[in-house]
A and B are shown apart, each in its own frame.
Chain A
Amino acid sequence: MITAKNLSKSFGNIRAVDNVNFFINKGEVVALLGPNGAGKSTLMRLLTGFLTPDCGETVICGHNVAEERVEAARKIGYVPENAPLYQEMTVFDFLSFTATLRGLSRTDFRNNLAEVVSRLELDRVLGQRTETLSKGFRRRTAVAAAMLHKPKVLILDEPTEGLDPNQKEEMRAFIKEYGARNLVLVSTHIMEEVDAVASRVILLNRGKLVRDTSPEELEKISPRGGIAEAFRQLTGGI
């Protein structure tokens, strides 16, 4: 469902993503792991078509992102790093706006809205302006907007950043559940997240793909065991 072929992107002299290749199939929850500045967000922006690669290509559900961006975007639900929302809108207005951009009919919007609102427990903030929301609710609203059209591919950039432990737990349970039927790509630098949700790990360091493996295999890399140790070893940490 997601194919990345020889993807590269530079900003000036900095090679943010360097010749990355992978294929992700339906039913996988993939953790895009890497230290800060590894190129995780850039890679996600390349996959969603927000950034154009210097070379290489991305194919989402059979649609080449460079040639059929709009078609590919229909299949994707994407939550950027800081979960940006229009501050002057209420949660309901924002979700309604997203549904219109996504081309959802009113009936589909009403049905899907009820589902995502109950799943992400947004009912009590629906009428609240997004600028007044807590970080957790902001992120949940952004996730709800990304899910309204029931995408086959859900791409979440650091979805649990800034959430309290309860919210983190809820978000991880949701990711796991959604990923069982679809495809979820989650970027993170938190090891416990990989343990909690991922069926596969793609490890990036300085723009390069250094490992594409299962969490279990990743744990075996370090003699002392554990994903954190393997992460340190592969990314040059102390």
Chain B
Amino acid sequence: MTRQFSAVFRRDFAAFFKTYAAYVMLAVYLVLSMVATFYFGGYFQLNNAGLISFFRFQPEILALLVPALTMRSWADERRSGTIEFLLTQPVGYLLVVLAKFAAAWIFVLLMLILTTPLWLSTAVLAAVDNLNILSGYLGCLLAGGAFCALGCMVSSFNKNPVITYIMSVFVCWGLSSLDLSSVFGGAAAFSDELLIKITQALNFSKHLQDFFSGHPGTDSLIYFAVVIVLSLWLNLAAVEHKKG
């Protein structure tokens, strides 16, 4: 089973590089991240020995780029017909779903690793709170994981990679920017406290901010785990019921 997982994982991961999409993606991600950090984030003006200006724009950048990574994971299998080859092998569907998700998530990890020189150079210039930065990176990795799972899920419903990309960006961006507590907060006078607590618990950016501020709670970890598990479960259901 491990060998089968590893085979599907390696195929998907290698496919990113064989089509050169990976190199373009890495370059675009690094350029966007650096422009956002130094130009829009005001890295030098903030006078803060941390990476706040870097982390601030990561949800938007990842929501834009991760769907480009996952758009082909299932849509391409459907379009080219290889899904029929893959799903008639003696391999559990869950294993294939997890392997494809893992390939995309590890790529996100690679993207984040490539930004660590910024961390190192900041550490050289000033005394930084390394744990705080590590927590921020963990937040980005979890957000990236959630986007990968959502992207794979959307991809499993579609045949067309372009439509998959647009829908995935919509879902990822929507999830990361929708502030449910402010939506329901406006009607606070009419809502009970429980409703407000629930909307806050569902707030993506609130949980991510917990990581960026260096104080991630168990609720934030659970939140991202739930988003990932739920998306992958829908992905599995789509694969099982919409194979042709």
User: Chain B residues near A86 (CB, 8 Å)?
Assistant: 11, 15, 80, 82
User: Chain A residues near B85 (CB, 8 Å)?
Assistant: 80, 84-85, 142, 145
Indicate if A98 sits at the interface (CB-CB under 8 A).
yes
Q: Mark A68-111, 1 if CB is under 8 A from B, else 0.
A: 00110110101011101111110000000110111100000000
Indicate if B27 sits at the interface (CB-CB under 8 A).
no
Report yes or no: A45 in contact with B89, Cβ–Cβ below 8 A: no
Report yes or no: B89 in contact with A102, Cβ–Cβ below 8 A: yes
Stretch in A32-40, A46-54, A180-188 with 4+ CB within 8 Å of B: A46-54
Report yes or no: A87 in contact with B88, Cβ–Cβ below 8 A: no
Report yes or no: B90 in contact with A98, Cβ–Cβ below 8 A: no
Q: Mark A16-55, 1 if CB is under 8 A from B, else 0.
A: 0000000000000000000000000000010011111000
Known contacts A45-B244, A100-B4, A103-B4, A73 near B81 by CB under 8 Å = no
Interface size of A by CB at 8 A reads: 29
The one of B8, B87, B92, B241 that contacts A50, using a Cβ cutoff of 8 Å: B87
User: Chain B residues near A87 (CB, 8 Å)?
Assistant: 80
Indicate if B197 sits at the interface (CB-CB under 8 A).
no
User: Chain A residues near B8 (CB, 8 Å)?
Assistant: 101
Known contacts A82-B81, A97-B11, A88 near B91 by CB under 8 Å = no
Known contacts A80-B81, A100-B7, A51 near B88 by CB under 8 Å = no
The one of B7, B82, B91, B243 that contacts A70, using a Cβ cutoff of 8 Å: B91
User: Chain B residues near A73 (CB, 8 Å)?
Assistant: 88-91
**What is the CA–CA distance of A49 and B4 in the complex, to the nearest angstrom?**
19
**Which residue of the partner chain B has the closest CB to A71?**
B90
User: Chain A residues near B91 (CB, 8 Å)?
Assistant: 70, 73, 101
B25 → chain A closest CB, angstroms: 16
User: Chain B residues near A97 (CB, 8 Å)?
Assistant: 7, 11
Report yes or no: A78 in contact with B88, Cβ–Cβ below 8 A: yes
Residues 226-243 of B at the A interface (beta carbon under 8 Å):
241, 243
B31 → chain A closest CB, angstroms: 26
**What is the CA–CA distance of A113 and B237 in the complex, to the nearest angstrom?**
35
Report yes or no: B3 in contact with A103, Cβ–Cβ below 8 A: yes
User: Chain A residues near B88 (CB, 8 Å)?
Assistant: 48-50, 73, 76, 78, 80
A156 → chain B closest CB, angstroms: 13
**Which residue of the partner chain A has the closest CB to B8?**
A101
The one of A74, A81, A89, A145 that contacts B90, using a Cβ cutoff of 8 Å: A74
10 contacts between A and B (CB under 8 A): A70-B91, A74-B90, A84-B80, A84-B81, A84-B84, A88-B18, A100-B6, A101-B8, A103-B3, A142-B85
Instruction: Please list the residues of chain A having a beta carbon within 8 angstroms of any beta carbon in chain B.
Output: 45, 48-52, 70-71, 73-74, 76, 78, 80-82, 84-89, 97-98, 100-103, 142, 145
Q: A52-B241, A84-B81 are in contact. List 15 more A-B contacts (CB 8 A).
A: A45-B84, A51-B244, A70-B92, A73-B88, A73-B91, A82-B81, A84-B84, A86-B15, A97-B11, A100-B7, A101-B8, A101-B91, A102-B89, A103-B4, A145-B85
